């Protein structure tokens, strides 16, 4: 699913964001990425999405290499990824269902199928009753659930969520974490970055990636953080 061998990422201004990353993440895993602000969590997700490419080393996502030389791979990989962003990136003035449908446009499905998948996805996140409400009128937790519906409606092989609970109170945050976890299955890997270690400290399943100043330690969950 994801394999990184001696991966480095240096931004154009010379910032060394990731240093010698070595990882192996299999299909159907749940992965939490934790670490202090500025340690490299988002940079790692950007690599997985192909938004950035390694400065050196080899990175394979969904069986395809991510590199400056293989831009075509990146387009293919993106179609199989469902991204969830901290700031939701929903389109204001549009309904929940429109936002979910817009997220699936790149897949080139017929309109009826788009509607069906979008409604199914909204149902999975418990928001069918808000399908035709404008996202501007939804609470923060509901908006995050629309963003999750948009990510899962395309039936992705990999869900990447960057600080999905950033703006939420503890109860809503726990619900969002549980919801994201529920999409993990044998074909779908879920990767979540979070500052909030208290949301995951009692979990005993999954992989923990501890990021510190651009280096990463990989361990199994089930021990205290």
Residue 43 binds to ligand ATP (criterion: CB under 6 A): yes
Residue 42 binds to ligand ATP (criterion: CB under 6 A): yes
CB of 35 to ligand ATP, least distance (A): 6
Take residue 129 and report the two structure tokens written for it: 């009753």
Stretch that binds ligand ATP, among 38-46, 53-61, 87-95, 122-130 (CB under 6 A): 38-46
Cα separation of 13 and 32, whole Å? 28
Residue 13 binds to ligand ATP (criterion: CB under 6 A): yes
CB of 17 to ligand ATP, least distance (A): 4
x/- binding map, residues 139-178, to ligand ATP, per CB under 6 A?
Answer: ----------------------------------------
Which CB atom, from 102 or from 196, has the smaller least distance to ligand ATP? 196
Q: In sequence order, what are the residues at sequence separation of 6 or more whose Cβ sits closer than 8 angstroms to the Cβ of residue 129?
A: none
For 35, list phi and psi in degrees, rounded to 5: 155, 160
Instruction: Tell me the C-alpha to C-alpha distance, in Å, between residue 29 and each of 65, 137, 148, 185, 212.
Output: 20, 35, 18, 8, 22
Helix 111-124 vs helix 96-104: crossing angle, to nearest 10:
120
The sign of the CA dihedral 94, 97, 100, 103 is negative
CB of 93 to ligand ATP, least distance (A): 28
Helix 140-153 vs helix 170-182: crossing angle, to nearest 10:
10
Binding residue count for ligand ATP, defined by CB under 6 A? 13
Residue 40 binds to ligand ATP (criterion: CB under 6 A): yes
Give residues in contact with ligand ATP (CB under 6 A): 11, 13, 15, 17, 35, 37-43, 195
């Amino acid at each position: 699913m994801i394999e990184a061998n001696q991966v480095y990422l240096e931004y154009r201004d010379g910032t060394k964001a990731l240093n010698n990353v070595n990882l192996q993440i299999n299909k159907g895993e749940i992965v939490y990425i934790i670490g202090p602000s500025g340690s490299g969590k988002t940079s790692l997700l950007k690599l997985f999405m192909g938004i950035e490419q390694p400065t050196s080393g080899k990175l394979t996502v969904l069986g395809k290499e991510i590199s400056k030389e293989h831009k075509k791979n990146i387009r293919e990989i993106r179609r199989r990824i469902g991204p969830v962003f901290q700031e939701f990136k929903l389109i204001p003035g549009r309904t929940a269902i429109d936002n979910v449908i817009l997220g699936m446009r790149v897949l080139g499905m017929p309109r009826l199928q788009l509607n069906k998948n979008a409604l199914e996805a909204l149902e999975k996140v418990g928001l069918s009753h808000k399908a035709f409400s404008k996202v501007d009128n939804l609470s923060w937790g509901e908006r995050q659930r629309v963003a999750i519906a948009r990510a899962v409606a395309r039936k992705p092989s990999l869900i990447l969520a960057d600080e999905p609970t950033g703006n939420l109170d503890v109860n809503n945050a726990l619900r969002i974490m549980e919801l994201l976890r529920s999409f993990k299955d044998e074909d779908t890997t879920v990767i979540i970055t979070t500052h909030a270690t208290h949301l995951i400290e009692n979990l005993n399943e999954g992989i923990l990636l501890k990021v510190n100043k651009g280096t990463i330690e990989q361990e199994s969950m089930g021990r205290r953080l």
